[in-house]
Amino acid sequence: MSSSKKYMSKRILVTSALPYANGPLHLGHLAGAYLPADLYVRYKRLTGADILYICGSDEHGVPITIAADKEGVSPQDIVDRYHTMIKDVFAEVGISFDYYGRTSSPVHYEVSSEIFKNLHDKGVFKKKTESQLFDPEAGKFLADRYVKGTCPKCGNTEAYGDQCEKCGTSLSPAELIDPRSMLTGAKPEHRETEHWYLPLGDLQPEIEAWLNTRENWKPNVMGQCKSWLSGGLNDRAVTRD
Ligand SMILES: [Zn+2]
């Protein structure tokens, strides 16, 4: 096989961070995540490379349900509006995705379910019961962004359950002083709930070995990955209330 044929047979997949369908794109998004990837993809296409540039709107997650609660509309209304807006902006700016989808599409559910079922059949998940914050007035468990309180590090009274935006500290809802529910303002209670976890720590040796075979990664990306590993990987929750 000639070297050019060898090169042609290499398939390249490019993706950029999925934008959350909870607000419009701004110039910072375009310059940071999409324009550099688009330049790379366009260059590779010119050289005849077998390359695909795939992206889509992320239509699940707390930022979307919070935006819906704020406007008094359904999460579906929010994602339909912003997915359309974001997709149109990408088209107008000329970002040359081969495919721009949305995480609510049937194929996304099929692939996610397949990965989940495969891991479940192999008995990979661990079940753990733990205490989480619960809003007694709303009758709901509160995910991180649904809780605000005082940051234990800097005293900011508007810290979120996952992060204090004033001092940048990562938090868990249980660390907040005087926590309050974003839904009703009620003082949350601790209640026991069962969740399933992916035991990432068990996979650490394999992940480390794989990482050491990577070439040409940017030093800051490699540094970030290595810092997660050096801190030890924790079990990762794959279910939510
Ligand atoms: Zn803080």
Instruction: Quick: pLDDT tens for 91-146.
Output: 999 999 999 999 999 999 999 999 999 999 999 999 999 888 999 998 988 888 88
Q: Could you read off the pLDDT of 16-64 as tens digits, one per residue?
A: 999 999 888 888 889 989 999 999 999 999 999 999 999 999 999 888 8
Q: How far is the CA of 159 from the centre of ligand 1 (A)?
A: 7
The whole-number pLDDT of residue 85 equals: 95
Q: Could you read off the pLDDT of 217-226 as tens digits, one per residue?
A: 989 989 988 9
Q: How far is the CA of 65 from the centre of ligand 1 (A)?
A: 24
Direct distance between the N- and C-terminal alpha carbons of the chain, in angstroms, rounded to an integer: 54
CA angle 129, 132, 133 (to 5 degrees): 160
Mean pLDDT, residues 150-174: 90
Dihedral pair phi/psi, residue 220, rounded to 5°: -70, -35
The widest CA-to-CA distance across the chain, in whole angstroms, is 69
CATH number of 1-104: 3.40.50.620
Confidence of residue 180 (pLDDT cuts 50, 70, 90): very high
Q: What is the DSSP letter of 186?
A: P
Neighbours of ion ligand 1 (CB under 5 A): 151, 153-154, 156, 164, 166-167
Q: How far is the CA of 141 from the centre of ligand 1 (A)?
A: 24
Q: How far is the CA of 168 from the centre of ligand 1 (A)?
A: 6
Amino acid at 200: L
CATH class of residue range 130-194: mainly beta
Other beta carbons within 10 Å of 25 = 17
Dihedral pair phi/psi, residue 3, rounded to 5°: -65, -30
The reply to whether 1-104 and 130-194 are identical in fold is no
Quote the CA–CA distance of 198 and 238 in Å, as a whole number: 7
The mean of the pLDDT values for the chain is 90
The whole-number pLDDT of residue 50 equals: 96
Domains of the chain by residue range: 1-104, 110-125+199-241, 130-194
Other beta carbons within 10 Å of 95 = 20
The whole-number pLDDT of residue 131 equals: 84
The whole-number pLDDT of residue 228 equals: 85
Q: How far is the CA of 32 from the centre of ligand 1 (A)?
A: 26
